[in-house]
Amino acid sequence: MKRDYPHLCAPLTVGRLTLRNRMLSAPMGATDITAEGTPGPRTQGFYELRAKGGAAVVTVSELVVHPETDGSQMLRLSLKTPGQLGAFTYLADAIKRHGAVASIELSHSGQYAGTYMVDKEKKGDLCQWGPSDGVRPDGMPVRALSHEQIASIVAAYGEAAALAKRAGFQMVMVHAGHGWLINQFLSPYFNKREDEYGGPLENRIRFAREVLASVRSAVGPGFPIELRISGAELFEGGYDVAEGARIAHALEDLVDLMHVSAGSYQFGFSVTHPSMFRDHGCNVHLAAEIKKHVSIPVVAIGGLSDPAQMEEIIASGQADAVAMARGLLADPELPSKVMANRG
């Protein structure tokens, strides 16, 4: 069959997996989550629809790895909650049964813990943790994580990854962008530590490398690990794309696929989630620059939904794959239509 979009429809090898095309379902939040962080049937149906629609990878979002310091109203995975592992197993199977790869995003919000909590009183009682002492723009104090807490969080990433693999997920994504905790350690704006985790870039990447090493140890060789970074923070005091490329290069040996997003929660998500007033694909240039500095496949994301544009991104070598969220909310069958020349 002659493809209208041959590059977009081509398979891609990641670790020991082969993706059926280059169109990925980006992490989108689950819907019916219990108080213990267990996904319900609507969540399963939501992600299954993207898999049924032809996406190569469907990433479940967000799995909080360390509830002790990140009490967000999001997914959590623990053997302490009866039946919870089974719920995640059903969720992974719902994705895989349609030929998509089931992935799950491992996350820690750092000083933005509780951002999505429904219980506002409980949210107000939370202690916010980050790389350094400080005060958030909304006046909430932030306390620096101790070495013991850092070690506990690093171990928790590995434990969560191991449980995800046990539940049947075929890939895990480590969220290191958008102003969440790993990004806070990478950022010269947030990270003011004076120990081995702060200062020059080789120190600021230490936490990220420890997390990724913990995940790799837990899942073993050949199991794909994705990394999501902000190619640039895009605000004064944050890192630019040149340093973003150095970060990517310094971490690529520990991952198999790199998603290049943009921006930070600190100053709004208008570039992270480009609005209708921005050009489609306005963040692709960040992926294109970082791709020059790494040898692993790179994924572009941000305001992408037009098959012709996505084909050109891959054909021109700006990225190896594309990820969509709102495009697949609008039409979950978009990848299947592209594969069938109904773009």
* Higher pLDDT among residues 303 and 72, named by residue: 303
Domain locations in the chain as residue ranges: 6-339
Task: Determine the CATH number of domain 6-339.
Answer: 3.20.20.70
Question: What is the mean pLDDT of the segment spanning 300-321?
Answer: 97
Helix spans in 205-325 (H): 206-219, 241-251, 284-291, 307-315
Give 291-305 pLDDT, tens digit per residue. 999 999 999 999 999
What's the chain's length in residues?
343
Give 178-202 pLDDT, tens digit per residue. 999 999 999 999 999 999 999 999 9
pTM metric for this prediction: 0.95
Calpha distance 122→198 (Å, rounded): 31
Give 257-272 pLDDT, tens digit per residue. 999 999 988 776 778 8
Q: Is the pLDDT of residue 46 over 60?
A: yes
By C-alpha distance, which of 228, 248, 289 is closest to 24?
228
By C-alpha distance, which of 54, 43, 151 is closest to 101?
54
- Residue 122: band (very low, low, confident or very high) from pLDDT cuts 50, 70, 90: low
Residue 116: the pLDDT is 59
Q: Could you give the 3-state DSSP secondary structure of residue 277?
A: coil
Q: Is the pLDDT of residue 307 over 90?
A: yes
And the tokens for 56?
């190569």
Evaluate the CA torsion angle 56, 61, 67, 69 in order and state its sign: positive
Question: Out of 42-56, 104-118, 316-330, which region has the weakest mean confidence (pLDDT)?
Answer: 104-118
- Residue 72: band (very low, low, confident or very high) from pLDDT cuts 50, 70, 90: low
